[in-house]
Amino acid sequence: MPLSLRHISHIRTSCNEIGAKSFRTRESCKLSVPKAVNDPKARKVPKTEEFLREHILELAPYSSIVPFDVLSEKLRRPTSDIVKLDANENPYGPPPEVFSALKNIEFPHIYPDPESRKLRGLLAQECRIPAENIMIGCGADELIDLVLRAILEPKDVLINTPPTFGMYEFDCSINNGVTVNVPRKPAPSFGIDVKSIKEAVLKNSAKILMLTSPNNPDGSVISREEIEELLELPCLVVLDEAYIEFYGDEHSFIQEVPKRQNLIVLRTFSKRAALAGLRVGYGVFPLRLIEYLWRMKQPYNVSVVAELAACAALSNPVYLEEVKNAIVMEREKMFKMMSSFSFLEPYKSQSNFILCRVTNGRAEELKSFLESDGIIVRYYNSPPELSGCIRVSVGLPEHTVRLKIVLMKYMEISGK
């Protein structure tokens, strides 16, 4: 075993005792050194987990969705017969320009632009902000982790507002930070508790406050007045706007970022542009912060394919707007349909999904019944605020029809 501090402390104590004796007897201090120090063959290689950072050993894994092909094998159904409504993906797919661009890709053998200049330029035009404030990530998830690595020292505090996106607390744990949760108000509002958030930030000297609007998994939004009040706090406010298009771009804070020192806004191409499989997200940062993020960022984090697809998607704003409108319209139809079942209590949403409480029966049982008919939804057994709920992504009109048919079948069989 390698020497620990306890071993060293023991050796020093022994030396003092021997030294005192040798002073009295005029003998030299002869201290025996453990064999492990002198004989390399006697040293034992530590167990693999002993190389890991201590807090990583206690890290709980993130719960991800089942891949489409694995799901197909599990259900013994072709993917074409599965209605996948569990991950808030865009069922319409990306604009046709994306497929054309990928088909005609010219330089897959050349490393991508480490600064994603072309995509940042297009986003600067669309969002009407300077390109120098924008950074592209391999999904917004990468940027969340990058910010936390840049800001959090071990045991620094991040304020979270659950129930919300699980990656905030997960990434905080990876970076050895401490998450202080300020719960949202009960359903159906799921509103944030501004007073308690302010108290928690000041009490814990928190460095980061994570906010999401619209919020995942309930689709609630934070008012402009609430966000502005929280921006007065002495901490960095990270506002995740992954679903903002389904609420309305006029509610975004993205153009506020260059004017402020403590605001970050995150966006994604996964929902609006249906590029979830290619992993493209972006963030808008204060200049004094993005300077250091550029130093930390992996140089080739966004692939040639991902940037090419994102640029192609932005070239057809009409398609993106039509798809967004179709999803919002279908969301309202789906809400009305789910409200017609006495055993369901759907909550109003400003996103591309609907959270729904199963009021009569078990949510897990309903989820399994839907799955047996090829309809996949997200089921929650925790945290307590979500226990007994399912979350259903907005699909195509025919998906809503099929969902209704299976729900009616469930009602007849179970007698709900």
SS (H, E, C) 90-112: CCCCCCHHHHHHHHCCCCCCCCC
Which residue(s) pair with 209 in the sheet? 159, 237
DSSP secondary structure code for residue 133 in this structure: G
What is the reported pLDDT for 6?
Answer: 33
Per-residue pLDDT of the chain (416 residues; tens, 9 = 90+): 342 333 334 444 443 443 434 334 444 545 555 555 566 666 788 888 888 988 998 888 887 878 888 989 989 999 999 999 999 999 999 999 999 999 999 999 999 999 999 999 999 999 999 999 999 999 999 999 999 999 999 999 999 999 999 999 999 999 999 999 999 999 999 999 999 999 999 999 999 999 999 999 999 999 999 999 999 999 999 999 999 999 999 999 999 999 999 999 999 999 999 999 999 999 999 999 999 999 999 999 999 999 999 999 999 999 999 999 999 999 999 999 999 999 999 999 999 999 999 998 899 999 999 999 999 999 999 888 999 999 999 999 999 999 999 999 999 988 76
Which segments within 241-342 are labelled E, that is strand? 263-268, 281-284
User: C-alpha angle 397/398/401, rounded to 5°?
Assistant: 95
157-160 and 134-137 strand pairing: unpaired
What is the reported pLDDT for 12?
Answer: 40
**3-state secondary structure (DSSP) of residue 268:** strand
Identify the helix (H) or strand (E) that includes residue 398.
helix 397-414
Q: Do 108 and 305 touch, CB atoms closer than 8 A?
A: yes
The interaxial angle of helices 304-314 and 117-127, nearest 10 deg, is 30
Q: Do 361 and 416 touch, CB atoms closer than 8 A?
A: yes
Model confidence, pTM? 0.87
Q: Do 407 and 83 touch, CB atoms closer than 8 A?
A: no
